[in-house]
Chains A and B, each alone.
Chain A
Amino acid sequence: MQRKNRLGRVYLVIVFLVLYLPILYLIYFSFSSGSTMNTFKNFTWANYRTLFADTRLIQIVLQTLLLALLSSLIATVVGTMGALGIAASKRTSTRNLMLSLNNVLMVSPDVIIGASFLILFTMLGISLGFGSVLASHIAFSIPIVVLMVLPRIQEMDHALIDAAYDLGASAPQVLNRVILPFITPGIVAGYFMAFTYSLDDFAVTFFVTGNGFATLSVEIYSRARQGISLEINALSALMFVFALLLVLIYFFIQVHQSNRTKRNKQKARNAA
């Protein structure tokens, strides 16, 4: 087991290295005084200075984050409810049909989704802007949430639910006390995937945006014709470091909490 563990560690280190390689490459060049990710010229902070002077870009970043956080939140709620509904349906064929419908948006290329959403919004007379983009992001994030939550629900031991009912719990109580706690990891995973989809999307957002609302992806893609400046690298580096900090903070809170519970248990044991 010891030997296998070490092998596992080595394997993980390689996976992490590969996953982070292009990002480190981007960050490295954010300090270059050149204008492309080609050869590193001289060390400079200039790209960061340009970035902080660019209020338009900063506003876009904030808008993008707001959109991603909010759309994935709503998508997670709706998707989880949907997954519960799918899991509860009695017939296998209904379940399979629902799952297939669920996956339509995952298989359709972004351009088709974007174009058909645009037609849909104009048909419904919805004006384009933050609202239409939010609705679209919620729409294409729901299927991934369902895919993340559903296996978790299906793994659930039904004896648990039955026991809760036998003990006189009401339906909302069972949902809150038994089902949701059990599927929380799936829900959180779904949230993060939805967040990722939202941050990454270009084509759908482009079609359904309007009235001055822009996201980072749309801005980056439309800058490609003139060449993307290293200012964008600097921005990515900052966003990455910020996200990393959040994850680290989360980590320390977790460690702290588990230490505390351990200590509390110790205390309780000592008291006994």
Chain B
Amino acid sequence: MKKLMSFFIAIVAACLLLTVGIKRLESAQGDSSAKTLNLFNWGDYIDPALIKKFEKETGYQVNYETFDSNEAMLTKIQQGGTSYDLAVPSDYTIEKMKKEHLLLPLDKKQIKGLGNIDPSFMNKSFDPDNRYSIPYFWGTLGIIYNDKFVKADQIQHWRDLWNPEFAHSIMLVDSARDILGFSLVKNGDSMNTRSRAQVTRAKDDLDKLAPNVKAIVADEIKMYMIQNEAKIAVTWSGEASEMLSNNSHLHYVVPTEGSNLWFDNLVIPKTAKHFKAIYAFLNFMLRPENAKQNALYVGYATPNDKAKALLPKDVRNDKQFYPPTDTIGKLQVYEDLGLKTVGMYNDLFLEFKMHRS
């Protein structure tokens, strides 16, 4: 009994110590709870130095909370419970949130610097006239190949993936719409199709691709490609830029016949409370020097034209991540297809996965 008691007392003592430590850190970071901004974002998706700069400049304190998928974030906002002031969902999620009345319209009068954004990234189908969202980062879906194993001219189009030479050497990102999507594009169909026949045809083609597929993975795809684990991968440009900077043998291609164009935009969820802080932050992030600093830190493509001009030449002229305008014209943005159609995509994708196992 004595042993048990001393064990428990030691734990309580440790808890007290930790509480003191946390309080210390909190007060060191400055509190004034009235002037806060609750930012809900992907992990490590903003330069921490920018948050510090913003806090110093405006006196607001930023609570940075993170999520790891659009859907998980959506659930949290739907349920409420926390007053998130700003969130960074992707395109189709914005449309969905809009339909479910989870977003507040932007007050354009309070926003300075919206003109810095490239007009071709504004007024997209998921948010006409940008009533609800401001582009934060953007990118594409494409093919990564390792020039140790694959020649550039061997892999420029989606149909090249089916080449029997690539048996057991392709990694796919675990995302139903993206994988069925490229199969749809290959067949000349829309990535936003609702036709079961078209999607089923795309799935049957994927079954034929199965012998070439090595694995279907997610974020860890970066690690695999950097380690030369696979010859080819299909993934998003954001992931690709990270891989390229770690392995000089890797290259990224956006097939000219078309692909996906995605956005991560800043939105104000209906849970927002601190409006002054929100607009201060939006204006802060729209400033070219800040957007440029953020783009350098995160490594994704910035939609801010003036910020892009400030980027080093080799970054802004990199055709892999800032593709030419005619390619961008062929890219398709995902629409929210509604739960039923999304369910159909996912069921077929699951069947494709089971087909291999």
Which residues of chain A have a CB within 8 Å of any CB of chain B?
A: 34-38, 54-56, 58-59, 62-63, 65-66, 69-70, 73, 115, 118-119, 121-122, 127-129, 132, 176-177, 180-181, 184, 187-188, 191, 206-207, 209-212, 214, 218-227, 229
Contact = CB atoms under 8 A, between A and B. Distances in A.
B15 A225 contact: no
A15 to B, nearest CB: 26
Given A56-B64, A222-B42, A128 B8 contact: no
Interface in B57-79: 63-68, 72, 75-76, 79
B172 interface: no
B22 interface: yes
Nearest to A127: B81
Nearest to B14: A69
Contact of A55 (B11, B28, B68, B79): B28
B111 interface: no
Interface string B1-29: 10110011001101100110110011011
Contacts of A218: 66
A54 B28 CA distance: 13
A69 to B, nearest CB: 5
Nearest to B247: A38
Given A62-B22, A225-B42, A227-B242, A38 B81 contact: no
Contacts of A180: 1, 4
A229 B223 CA distance: 11
B190 interface: no
Contact of A70 (B3, B15, B45, B48): B15
A198 B44 CA distance: 23
A58 B25 contact: yes
Contact of B18 (A34, A66, A223): A66
Contact of B75 (A37, A118, A176): A118
Interface of B: 1, 3-4, 7-8, 11-12, 14-15, 18-19, 21-22, 25-26, 28-29, 38, 42-45, 48, 63-68, 72, 75-76, 79-83, 218-220, 222-223, 226-227, 238-239, 242, 245-246, 298-299
A177 B218 CA distance: 54
Given A36-B223, A59-B22, A221-B43, A211 B4 contact: no
Nearest to B13: A69
16 contacts: A56-B64, A65-B18, A66-B15, A73-B12, A118-B75, A127-B82, A207-B75, A211-B38, A211-B83, A220-B43, A224-B43, A224-B220, A225-B239, A226-B43, A226-B45, A226-B299
Contacts of A188: 4, 7
A260 to B, nearest CB: 15
Contacts of A220: 43
A38 B227 CA distance: 6
A35 B298 contact: no
A80 to B, nearest CB: 10
